[in-house]
Amino acid sequence: MLACWRITLPPYFSNRCRRGFHSRVNALESHGNGGPSKEKKVVIVGSGWAGLGAANHLCNQGFDVTVLEGNNDFGYPDNIGNQGHWSPFQNIFSLVDDLGIKPFTNWINCAQYSGEGLEVEFPIFQDLPQLPTPLGTLFYTQFVRLPLLDSLTSLPLMTAVIDFDNTDSAWRKYDSITARELFKQFGCSERLYQDVVGPLVHVGLFTSSEQCSAAAILGLLYYVVLAHQKDFDLVWCRGTVTETIFKPWMDSMRAKGCKFLESRRVTDFFFNEETGCVSEVVCGRQTYNADAVILAVGISTLQEIIKNSPALSTREDFLKTMNLKNIDVLTVKLWFDRKVNIPNASNVCSDIEDSFGWTFFDLNVIQDEHKGDPVTVLQADFYHANELLPLKDDDLVVKVKSYLSKCIKEFENANVVDKEIGRYPQSLTHFFPGSYKHMMRGSTSFPNLFMAGDWIVNRHGSWAQEKSYVTGLEAANRVVDYLEEGSFAKIIPVEEDELHIQALRSLNRSFSEIRTQIPLSNFFLQ
């Protein structure tokens, strides 16, 4: 493992980082202890799954860890809305087991609606007889209105799924086209796209297929839907992720000496010109000494830091991220004056107004605090919600109630008695076509500055919260390797492909190698 890490990381300087730019530091309030420390100092910027994952492992290895959060609420943006946890999230499930907490529901049935009503019901796939992928996903899914012939037009897409193996070349091949173009090329029927596939893309990657990278949807589609029959099964937090997971997790780290500091917006970095290492993290007039730094922040936060930082704005790997984008999110939690029969606790909805995707959840079933309530408590989350964020709260309530009524008629006669609305501009990653070439790797042009997050390029194969957490562990491993202290975090790999998929991918690679040596495409064109 050590050898593997050394191959992927840049060469290191033999001498350790030292403080630079002393004349600037004199005007600031330094948080160094004034003398040599036996514990190496690691500063982590960001407190979502990536930042906390890195902090947890480095605390366990005896490092002096400080986590800086720019907001006044830890966990952002991973505490936005209701985010499900799919069956392949084995690293996260292992973590909560180690913490001795039980934050998740049992497996929850899901459904999908359009403006015409119920379209699809998804069973608990692991409870059914196992079929080779993708047969189980296709045949056990209950299509209420979709004709069989339309559902079968999804099968040719497996050709692209097999070809996309999460390598750099695969990403570059498919990232240049939209997911919508991909579905057209492989024969997906218009009805299947409009009623099923399109809405799933919109809530899975937070934007429409016309604005989503084909590479991103192939990666997500395989990881949580097609690799194994059980992969689409979901659990949900029995409360907010902050209350059920992050708070007990952070308490366990505080007990080991980890420091969590909120409202610390990073404005710059000091680095030593001789070694190229970051020596201090600057937050306004405060600085934090560091032997290593991990940036575990979203794209918009990083872009804000780059704009303010003379240190980062000189580096090409950071400047490229200025081309990346984020997505607006709106969450609407509603209390109704009566019980409404919601057949499934978790629901995906077609884009009624052709501009955003949305989901809604029966919190009476999912969250412990609302079980037994005499009224209906529901939350709806809207992605790519640019046009919704400016609306007044009362206007949003009217809109959301009308959307719900198109899915479940009983909402027409129910009255909203209370509401909570959250607006989160530029909060989630936008995997738009062509974005891959601008994304960062886990190592940077600074030898002791590392990156983590769901938008960081890695080869683990996971997505969403699991990918954020895994990249946090990978960043921690880079710190361990760089500082030459501690042990590596164990990362559970994604479950291997089924044998027939392995065979097909092997044949595909062999054919691709032959094709590069013999210009078959030119031959057939002639």
Q: Is the dihedral of CA 76, 109, 226, 130 positive or negative?
A: positive
Q: Is the dihedral of CA 314, 68, 489, 485 positive or negative?
A: positive
State how far the Cα of 493 lies from the Cα of 90, in Å rounded to an integer: 9
470 class by beta-carbon count within 10 Å (0-12 exposed, 13-18 middle, 19+ buried): buried
| pLDDT-above-70 percentage for the chain | 90
Q: How far is CA 442 from CA 42, 88, 213, in A?
A: 16, 22, 21
pLDDT band at 17 (very low <50, low <70, confident <90, very high): very low
Q: Give the chain's length.
A: 526
Q: Is the dihedral of CA 148, 153, 159, 162 positive or negative?
A: negative
pLDDT score of 8 more than 80: no
How large is the average pLDDT for residues 428-456?
Answer: 97
Q: Which residue is associated with the tokens 């359009």?
A: 114
Structure-model confidence comparison of residues 526 and 275, the more confident one: 275
- 268 φ/ψ angles, rounded to the nearest 5 degrees: -170, 175
pLDDT band at 513 (very low <50, low <70, confident <90, very high): confident
pLDDT band at 38 (very low <50, low <70, confident <90, very high): low
Look at residue 11 in the predicted model and tell me its pLDDT.
33
Per-residue pLDDT tens for 258-283? 999 999 999 999 988 889 999 999 99
pLDDT band at 385 (very low <50, low <70, confident <90, very high): very high
Quote the pTM value: 0.90
Q: What is the mean pLDDT of the chain?
A: 90
pLDDT band at 517 (very low <50, low <70, confident <90, very high): confident
Peptide bond into 493 cis (omega under 30): no
pLDDT band at 354 (very low <50, low <70, confident <90, very high): low
Closest CA to 305 of 38, 29, 46: 46
State how far the Cα of 482 lies from the Cα of 10, in Å rounded to an integer: 10
State how far the Cα of 82 lies from the Cα of 4, in Å rounded to an integer: 37
Q: How far is CA 467 from CA 411, 459, 490, 494, 503, in A?
A: 37, 10, 14, 11, 26
